A and B are shown apart, each in its own frame.
Chain A
Amino acid sequence: QKEVEQNSGPLSVPEGAIASLNCTYSDRGSQSFFWYRQYSGKSPELIMFIYSNGDKEDGRFTAQLNKASQYVSLLIRDSQPSDSATYLCAATISNFGNEKLTFGTGTRLTIIP
Chain B
Amino acid sequence: EPEVTQTPSHQVTQMGQEVILRCVPISNHLYFYWYRQILGQKVEFLVSFYNNEISEKSEIFDDQFSVERPDGSNFTLKIRSTKLEDSAMYFCASLGGHTYNEQFFGPGTRLTVL
Contact = CB atoms under 8 A, between A and B. Distances in A.
Interface of A: 32, 42-46, 49, 88, 90, 96-106
Interface residues of B, number: 23
B97 to A, nearest CB: 12
A70 to B, nearest CB: 18
Interface in B5-19: none
B75 interface: no
Contacts of B58: 100
Nearest to B58: A100
Interface string B22-44: 00000000010101000001111
B100 A98 contact: yes
Nearest to A46: B102
Contacts of A97: 95, 100-103
Contacts of A88: 42-43
Interface string B76-114: 000000000000000100010000111111111000000
A100 B33 contact: yes
Most buried by B among A32, A99, A106: A99
B48 A44 contact: no
Nearest to A103: B43
Contacts of B65: none
A99 to B, nearest CB: 7
Contacts of A106: 42
